[in-house]
Amino acid sequence: MEQIKQRAESANLSKVTEVRLRLGCWENMNEKDLTAAFDRLKGDGLLGDARLLVDRKKPLARCRYCDSLFEVVYFKSRCKHCGSNYMEFIGEHGIVLEGIDGIE
């Protein structure tokens, strides 16, 4: 919340209308729970009318046998190209504040 307020302050916003977050694919967090927490913490002032948009990246893997890149549906996924289960998981961790919109 502090990072959002700092960005709003540096952009001279009097009200924040939208907050965009990117949630890493390996985060064990539900978007609904994150939105509910945001709604409880935002208060009535600067963030009072803001809505939260969460973009969750999909987990990817690279096959170490044929070098194909594919989306991981479940942890026992196999390469869509060659069928190998010898893979390297790829993806982001953490929560990133992508941006905010508001009224000056």
pLDDT digits (tens, 9 = 90+) for 73-96: 876 788 989 999 899 988 777 888
Domains of the chain: residue spans and CATH = 2-103 (3.30.2320.80)
**The pLDDT of residue 57:** 79
- Alpha carbon distance 33, 36 (integer Å): 5
**The pLDDT of residue 59:** 85
Which residues of the chain are under the pLDDT cut of 70? Answer: 75
**The pLDDT of residue 24:** 83
**The pLDDT of residue 45:** 86
Q: Is the dihedral of CA 27, 31, 35, 40 positive or negative?
A: negative
Give the DSSP letter of residue 64: T
**The pLDDT of residue 100:** 93
**The pLDDT of residue 89:** 85
- CB 50, CB 35: distance < 8 Å: no
Distances in Å between the Cα of 28 and the Cα atoms of 42, 94, 101 are 22, 10, 27
- Alpha carbon distance 19, 41 (integer Å): 13
Global model pTM greater than 0.75: no
